[in-house]
Amino acid sequence: MRWDEARGIKRDEFYQNLSLVQKIKLLSRIAVSTFAQGDYFFSESRIQQLIGDYLSHLPQAPTDVDALQLDSTAVLKSIEAQHGLLVEQARGIYSFSHLTFHEYFTAREIIATSNPQTLQEFATHFNEKSWQEVFLLVAEMLHSADDLWLLIKQQIQILATSNEKLQQFLKWINQKASAISRVQRRCHAIASYHPASVRSFYFTLGLPPNHSLAGNQSFTLLLDNRLASTLVIDLALDLALTYVLTVSLAMTADIFFQRLSALKLSLDLEHLLGQNSLLQTSLQNLKNQLPDSIEERETIKAWWLANGETWTEELRNLAISQRDIGYNWQFTENELELLQQYWDANKLLFDCLNSSDRVNAKMRQSIEESLFT
């Protein structure tokens, strides 16, 4: 225990005399100052400086620099001993005892100091994975988050317009979604899907087959779970054609013999083609080109080696010409990362909306319906 012999008092009494609100503000200040720099571990001198800066603005703070330094050290030790929120991980190196506390107090400080400028700065972190939990906490605790939703949406739009290929991809998604909407209005079979759910559907359907999000419809179903059981014919057909193309793209000569029957079966789409006789005839022609399943293994293997690439390209061109789907977007690694960020950002905005119970219905509808646009 530290003593100030000149003053004759226990140093840790300074911390004891802080109110609960002041202690929370202090921890919040430490949290946001370190979290904003990506520092989950920080030196003792750094944290003492942060504590000292905070204490120096309190009415009861000592004016003597040395005394303030001693008080900062005592406060640090008191926080460590009494609450366990800050712990010494190694000699002279501290961290919050759990990342959850670091994120929580960061969120509290953002809310406590929220104004147009700080919220604008906060929103710029929206595409950073390390900030996701902080955004969820802020969305949950902020009394009125309408300004935050709009700032986040603005950040997503900035991301969407940062790359020409991404813009082209999103334009295609919206064109496909609009086509589905027109089909639903004509057929009156079921109520229109949530507009963002259809865009989400085509977002994953249009990705390269080896992308981690390709075909992942979990977010789509969160937006509208009817897509798990009730697909209009056009959606079902696009899904089926994408599956056939994915199977073909993944095919190799060595496995073609085992997968030939499955590939032929996947081309049987008569139940989805309706009056589209041209597509039906073209798919049948592609099927007829495939070797007979009773042929020898080596014969079938040789067929794919000689014709597989051309056959797959014919299938792709057919899907593009008849259904406007199956494009080889030729995304670069950077563009694939942007696509992942864009998806994550839309999903996080949706999760933030759902973590808040203070979103008015009109704002929620407006934000949700603007996802993936």
pLDDT score, position 345: 95
- Residue in the block written with tokens 């006789």: 277
Q: What is the percent of the chain where pLDDT is above 90?
A: 63
Q: What are phi and psi of 371, to 5 degrees?
A: -65, 140
Q: Reduce the DSSP state of residue 42 to 3 states and report it.
A: strand
Residues 87-135 have pLDDT tens digits of: 889 998 989 999 999 999 999 999 999 888 989 999 999 999 999 999 9
| Ranges of each domain in the chain | 1-108, 161-370
pTM, entire model: 0.85
Length of the chain: 373
pLDDT score, position 13: 61
DSSP string, 131-154: GHHHHHHHHHH-S--HHHHHHHHH
Q: What is the mean pLDDT of residues 278-303?
A: 93
Closest CA to 238 of 226, 223, 227: 227
Q: What is the mean pLDDT of residues 315-324?
A: 96
Q: What is the percent of the chain where pLDDT is above 70?
A: 91
Residues 49-79 have pLDDT tens digits of: 888 888 777 766 555 444 555 566 777 777 7
Residue 299 tokens, joined: 């014969």
**CATH number, span 1-108:** 1.10.10
The kind and range of the H/E element at 43 are: strand 42-43
pLDDT score, position 6: 40
Residues 23-47 have pLDDT tens digits of: 899 899 999 999 999 999 999 889 8
38: left (phi over 0), alpha (psi -120 to 50) or beta: left
CA distances from 227 to 28, 197, 273 (A): 43, 8, 19
Residue 79: which residues within 8 A CB-CB, separation 6 or more?
15, 23, 27, 85, 86
Q: Give dist(CA 244, CA 236) in Å, integer.
A: 12
Regarding predicted confidence, which is higher, 151 or 187?
Answer: 151
Confidence check: pLDDT of 18 > 90: no
Q: Reduce the DSSP state of residue 88 to 3 states and report it.
A: strand
Query: Of 3-17, 35-49, 227-241, 315-329, which gets the smallest average pLDDT?
Result: 3-17
